Amino acid sequence: MTIFTIPMAKRLAIILSVFLMAGCAGTQTFNQYAKSGETVAIPTGYQPDWSRDNISVWVQEQGGDYVQYPANDPRIRAVVNFYPDPLSSLVVSNRTEQDITPFAEGYGSTITNTFTSGDRDWYQTVVFFDLPDPMNLGTANVYVEEVANTSNFVNTTVNIVGTGGAPHGFGTNAGGPLQRVHLATLERASHYVVTLTDSGEVPHAVQMEFSHTTGVGKAYVVEPISGVKNISWTDDGSTLRVVILPAEDTALRSIDDFKFYVAGGVTNLVPDPLKTQAFDINGGDVPGVSAVATPHNIVIADGL
């Protein structure tokens, strides 16, 4: 086990983050109490780019230095995005611009305006990891950071109440081939994020076409934002055609709302600029709209 000491500047940043979080909901591991060696989880906020390949975890036992888990360390078990129920008061209140329950619409607006930079694709990124064993009893500090952007980090604590704990197996009660660990299957597969750019006017509807190679599978288009738009698509193995219409007349208020994902193992996804067409509510052309496909080739490490 390799021991590292976090530089003083980073220690001060951690202390500052604790004070900043004291004014809001804060971040806490689940469970809050654990034995050393057990599996815990920490909510890390909205992290579109995090995976086991690009984060590191630091754990400091009470009275000791930090133990670093580098990217793809097997003790980092999974990085999973959890979405709100599309029928939750939070989502329904935000989509209908009314408080189904007290303050729900305001909470939703805060998420969009403060935490996701206008993106209504909401989720909470949760990092599952195994604690070191053994550890001193008492309060342990936990620190998760993005390797390429160390200013993007989350800090919290977990109370160590015993030693000799075991990592969680995350198996099922079903027999046969289902009797195996399943946590990693909740992680994101490799995919493309498709976004649109405009010249100032948000279109009502868009149709576009992409070329691609088969890669290791076949195309699968994912609509990430519940209740906002309808996506129709076809794919013949080399050409993907997508049509986006609003779920209701005023649903698509921002160009960010047109975002979608393409997964399934296809490669070299390239939008055809000559076949990207945008329309206003009357069917007229909206100029200056183009599509961008950004690959997120997440490599899931073997095992858990």
CA-closest candidate to residue 191, choices 301, 293, 54, 276: 293
Domain boundaries, the chain: 3-83+123-162, 189-296
Q: For the residues 86-104, what does the mean pLDDT come to?
A: 95
Confidence at residue 21, expressed as pLDDT on a 0 to 100 scale: 30
CATH architecture of 189-296: Sandwich (2.60)
Whether the Cβ atoms of residue 236 and residue 179 lie closer than 8 Å to each other = no
The model's pLDDT over 56-85, given as tens digits with 9 standing for 90+, comes to 999 999 999 899 999 999 999 999 999 999
At residue 5, the pLDDT reads 40
pLDDT at 217: 84
Asked if the domains 3-83+123-162 and 189-296 are classified in one and the same CATH topology, the answer is yes
Q: Is the torsion defined by CA of 186, 218, 72, 81 positive or negative?
A: negative
Q: In the predicted model, what is the mean pLDDT of residues 158-167? A: 96
Q: What is the pLDDT of residues 173-229, one digit of tens each?
A: 766 666 667 888 899 999 999 999 998 999 999 999 999 998 778 999 999 998 899
Give the model confidence (pLDDT) of 249-297 as tens digits.
888 999 999 999 999 999 999 999 999 999 999 999 999 999 999 999 8
Take residue 174 and report the two structure tokens written for it: 């079903």
pLDDT for the residue 17: 39
> Residue 165 contacts by C-beta under 8 Å, 6 or more apart in sequence?
34, 35, 36, 37, 38, 131, 133
pLDDT at 86 over 50: yes
Q: Where residue 135 falls among pLDDT bands split at 50, 70, 90?
A: very high
Residues 51-61 pLDDT 10s: 999 999 999 99
Domain 3-83+123-162 sits in CATH at: 2.60.40
Summarize pLDDT for 258-269 with one digit per residue, the tens: 999 999 999 999
User: pTM for the complete prediction?
Assistant: 0.86
